[in-house]
Amino acid sequence: MQSSEGLLKVIAYLVYRHFKLFGKGVDRLKLMKLLFLVDYDLTKHPPQKRGVTGLEWKIYLWGPYAYDVYRAKDYLVEKGILVEDFTYRTLLPDDKVALKKLIDGLDGKLKQVIDEVLARYGDRDGIDLTYLIYRILQLTPARKHKYFEMTIDDYLRELKREQTA
């Protein structure tokens, strides 16, 4: 799923399902981390890349970061498909007709991956997810500094080399 329309569908579906399952929206940090967990299966050792969003993930200050996520989020808000509560910077479903139209075309297997990620991690807040990802990826402050803006794929290869050396 490489297209920006695909990313829009993934974000819309994730926010919609999170609201249905937990009765609340998704803040910006949690959105970023849940999308990362959609792309990388951290239950596997070493973590396995699914690569279903088409995003390029990099090591950033708060862990894995993909620059296109917030642009896509802003577009969905601008189009009225999602609404952003500025008090808590939380995304909620808005125009349910437009939302349903957008997510109806999302692949069933991808919906299943998102649902599995939400079942496993959806009740955690963004900071908790961040520290979980740090721990699993062994992203200490020193490593974040050393590998800042390196892609996650390159970092995982480097981590594997370090562990086998």
> How many angstroms separate the CA atoms of 145 and 133, rounded?
16
- Of 24 and 2, which is predicted with more confidence? 24
User: What is the reported pTM?
Assistant: 0.92
Mean pLDDT, the chain, whole residue set = 92
Q: 2: pLDDT confidence band, cut at 50, 70 and 90?
A: very low
As beta bridge partners, residue 116 has: none
Report, as an integer, the average pLDDT of 71-93. Answer: 86
Residue 90 · residue 84 · CB < 8 Å? yes
Residue keyed to tokens 């819309």: 12
Q: Comparing 1-15, 40-54, 96-110, which segment has the lowest mean pLDDT?
A: 1-15
Predicted confidence at residue 1, as pLDDT, reads 36
pLDDT at position 86: 74
pLDDT of residue 164: 86
pLDDT in tens, 98-140: 888 889 989 999 999 999 999 999 999 999 999 999 999 999 9
User: What angle (nearest 5°) sits at the alpha carbon of residue 154, between those of residues 150 and 160?
Assistant: 125
**Helix/strand number for the chain, H first, E second:** 8, 7
Name the strand (E) or helix (H) holding 79.
none
Could you give the C-alpha distances from 161 to 96, 109, 113, 132, in angstroms and in order? 47, 32, 29, 22
CA distance 113 to 87: 30
Q: pLDDT exceeding 70 applies to what percent of the chain?
A: 97
The total number of structural domains that make up the chain: 1
Domain that holds residue 143: 4-164
% of the chain with per-residue pLDDT over 90:
77
pLDDT tops 50 at residue 84:
yes
Say yes or no to pLDDT of 88 above 80. Answer: no
CA gap 76, 73 in Å, rounded: 5
Do residues 35 and 65 lie in contact, with contact meaning Cβ atoms separated by under 8 Å? no
Q: What is the pLDDT of residue 4?
A: 85
- Is residue 151 a contact partner of residue 159, using CB atoms and an 8 Å limit? no
Read off the pLDDT of residues 142-164 as tens digits, 9 standing for 90 and up.
999 999 999 999 999 999 998 88
